[in-house]
A and B are shown apart, each in its own frame.
Chain A
C-alpha cells in the first residue's frame, strides 16, 4: 500500500515570497491533516479536512496561509507571503475517518527554510 506522498521534500525561499506544498493521501482516506512542526516542538495542527470540507482551521494563520482539498483527494498548502518564523517542517497526514482510536499516517514532510 502506498503511503502519504508529499512534495517537495525541501524548499528554501526568501521572506515575502510565496510557496506551495502538495500532499497525496493514502487512497480511500477521508480525513487529511496539515501539521506544522517547528524544530524541537511537536506537530501543531494547521487544518483538518474531512473529504473536501474543512473540519478545523482554527490554528491556520489565514492572513498568509491557505489550503484546499479539491475532489476530496490531493491537497495543497500555500504560504503567501512567507515570514522567517514559518521555517518548519510541514507534515501531511491522513486517516481512514474521524474517530477516537483512528491512526494517522504521515508523509515524510516538507522542510521549509525562509531566509
Chain B
C-alpha cells in the first residue's frame, strides 16, 4: 500500500541554520505530495504541496521539490527561526489509495535562539 517514510527526529538547530527534513514515498499511481505542520497546541495545517514531477511547493520560506526519480519530497528552509519549532508531517494522496491522505510519522524540529 501507499506509505511515507520520514527522517526521525528531533532535529535540533540554532536560529538561522539550514534545515532539511527527508521524506520518501511509495505509492500506486501518480501521487500528490504534501507537507503539513503542527505547532504546539494546534491542529495540523498545510504548509505546501506539489502535484506533479519537478514541481516545487513553497510557503513561509520552506520549499520542497517533487522528485519522481528518487520518490522523494524533502523539506528545506535556508534560515530557520525559533517560531518554526513544530512537528512536520510529510503526506501523499494517490489514486490507489482513493486519494485518502497518508501521513509519515512526523519529524519534530526544535530551533534554539
Task: Mark A residues whose CB is within 8 Å of B.
Answer: 3-4, 33, 35, 40-45, 48, 55-56, 91, 93, 98-109
Contacts and interface: CB of A to CB of B under 8 A. Distances in A.
- Which secondary structure dominates chain A's binding surface? loop
Interface residues of B, number: 28
Interface stretch (B14-22, B74-82, B103-111): B103-111
Residue of B34, B44, B103, B106 most packed against chain A (CB within 10 A):
B44
A99 B41 CA distance: 29
Contacts of A109: 43
Contacts of A48: 98, 100
Q: Which 7 A-B pairs have the closest CB atoms?
A: A42-B103, A106-B43, A106-B44, A42-B105, A108-B43, A101-B32, A101-B51
Nearest to B103: A42
Nearest to B8: A40
Contact of B49 (A3, A33, A35, A103): A103
